[in-house]
Amino acid sequence: MLNNVGRPTRPEGTSGNVDLDGTFTGNKALNLETPLIFEQGVKGRVGVDLRAPKKVKNRLGGLERPEDPELPDLSEPQVLRHYVRLSRQNYSIDAGFYPLGSCTMKHNPRINEKAARMKGLGDIHPMQPVSTVQGALELIDDLGHWLKTITGMPAVAMSPAAGAHGELCGVMAIRAAHDAKGESRTRILVPESAHGTNPATAALCGYKVESVPARADGRMDLEAFEAALGPDVAGVMLTNPNTCGLFENDIKKIADLVHAAGGYFYCDGANLNAILGRTRPGDLGVDAMHINLHKTFSTPHGGGGPGSGPVVLSEALADFAPVPYVVNGKDGYGLQEHVSGDATASFGRMKTFHGQMGMFIRAMAYMLSHGSDGLRQIAEDAVLNANYVRVGLNDLLHSPFDGICMHEALFDDSTLKDTGVTTLDIAKAMIDEGYHPMTMYFPLVVHGAMLIEPTESETKETLDLFIGSLRHLIEKAKTSNDPDFFKQAPHFAPRRRLDETAAARKPILRWSAENDAA
């Protein structure tokens, strides 16, 4: 940090109260305003010189472009500066604290990235002959073994490409199991505290989704669940720990009840990082559960990818797992590619190849570098950090549910009542303080929800500064009688408050000359 003792940071005699929007260029200090790349340059300017192509026979059969492509006309330095500036605007876990949670941003040790890029792994191709990828297949098989060991489950499907894809895999296995028994079940029960993808997945598989209410303590209402069970129920999809950041205390009884009714228990494993090494889902009666490798075992996921969602399966569902999968035979490792032989009960293929190799490598590196005691400590530290945040704020913000939370702390907006300030306004003000906002308005069972997941890798000092920043904003909202300050936030971001409704419903994701003219 620059030592400014005796070194004024502004001209003598000035207060610093200047119009922050008033620069001629729109730039702020060295934070430069960046127009679209098509809005820069001059027609005809080029950054490279290419030799004229040799005369070759045209083999496009009349499909040539009738006009020149619409490319920006820029010099090489302009191109370089444009992308460097964009990279500096990319807020990430490497830039600062990210309370949105491990589902989106989790610390990814660089040794895992290095392993994923090793020659022979980083350049592997899914269509290589099996004899040339024995090491890769062994790694997939080993990783599957450790996922089964950690969860206490006898089988695993490695191919699902992400968490929601894993849900689809699990529910398709449940459907295949019922079909094999000649049962036609039509309903799947989903607690209202579940992830939003759960009911979507059940509906995609043709099931009628029936919501189960939550109790006052934030957990699924067991009596309502039992009353909803019947011979037409295919299963239940439960998130544990749930989206309120709470462990479902009745989970074993839930499993027993759904099994007694002839259904299966799907557990959304997106929050496995809170119970890793502490509880095995297999011991709780779970039949299927996806594991977000990108959330629990490293790999950057922010912005929508890549993901990887292997699914562990109980003995009852193991035979219905999708192909392809790795087999370890007397001649080495191979692939069961088709629904035949030992895989005649499989519900089929849901992905072209065998899974996300780069993420398998990162997950394996994460496991090996931490060991069993380290994996257990990850869960303990994640829970400890979330509760540190909860206790640091609970005299100022209201927790809708009493007691210890798991890996994320949940608050509602009752503290802001009559201030004119909303959860969204607080989130925008947090951007000015240098934080990506936490999860807002989710879970839906809590009004004005603020869901804060600090993850296991943050220091006490980082959490103290975050708690102090949020306390400052909440106290200002309650005492300043100036809601406009929050309504106009963020004040210091390159872009001010955007029309989020228009951005969601009328997104313009691609430049075109027509949009530019409009």
What is the per-residue pLDDT across 354-387, written as a single tens digit (0 to 9) for each? 899 999 999 999 999 999 999 999 999 999 999 9
What is the per-residue pLDDT across 345-355, written as a single tens digit (0 to 9) for each? 999 999 989 89
Mean pLDDT computed over 140-145: 97
More confident site: 52 or 332: 332
**Cβ-count burial 122-150 (b if 16+ within 10 Å, e if not):** eeeeeeeeeeebeebbebbbebbebbbeb
pLDDT of 167 > 50? The answer is: yes
Average pLDDT score over the chain: 90
Mean pLDDT computed over 415-441: 95
DSSP 318: G
Q: How far apart are CA 479 and CA 421, in angstroms?
A: 11
pLDDT of 15 > 60? The answer is: no
The model's pTM is: 0.88
Residues near 217 by beta carbon (within 8 Å), at least 6 away in sequence = 246, 401, 402
**pLDDT for 82:** 93
Where residue 508 falls among pLDDT bands split at 50, 70, 90? confident
Mean pLDDT computed over 137-159: 97
What is the per-residue pLDDT across 244-267, written as a single tens digit (0 to 9) for each? 999 999 999 999 999 999 999 999
Mean pLDDT computed over 448-465: 95
How many beta carbons lie within 10 A of that of residue 225, not counting itself?
20
Q: Is 154 exposed, middle or buried (0-12, 13-18, 19+ CB in 10 A)?
A: middle
Polymer length in residues for the chain: 518
Beta strand 439-440 with 332-336 is unpaired
How many beta carbons lie within 10 A of that of residue 449, not counting itself?
21
HSE toward the beta carbon, residue 113, CA cutoff 13 A? 6
More confident site: 166 or 304: 166
